[in-house]
Amino acid sequence: MRYLAHRYGADVIGIELTPARVAGAQELSKLVGLQDTACVIEGSVLQVPLADASTDAVVSQEAFCHVPELRKALTEAARVLRKDGRLAFKHWVAN
């Protein structure tokens, strides 16, 4: 998340389930000077606390393997994406 904000100047919103992880991520963003462009909010990818069509991209790196309802998470990703938005993810799949 912070890499995208730093490297590309993107405004990035991360989603975390637990308040402690939100606080830790926010502190780290502040320590590296990215508090204005990289923020973390408390929420679930199964019920994303963002408006419809509010993002240009959704990026997930090895997080979907921890989600009990992958189809619902992908539906939420599609919901928050603007028209022509992009979904990028890396997902582990058991054989």
Domain range list for the chain: 1-43, 45-95
Residue pLDDT tens, the chain, 95 long: 899 999 999 999 999 999 999 999 999 999 999 999 999 999 999 999 999 999 999 999 888 888 999 999 999 999 999 999 999 998 877 76
How far is the CA of 5 from the CAs of 9, 36, 37, 79, 81, in angstroms? 5, 9, 6, 22, 18
* Adjacent-strand bridge partners of 77: none
- pLDDT value at position 19? 97
Question: pTM score, two decimals?
Answer: 0.85
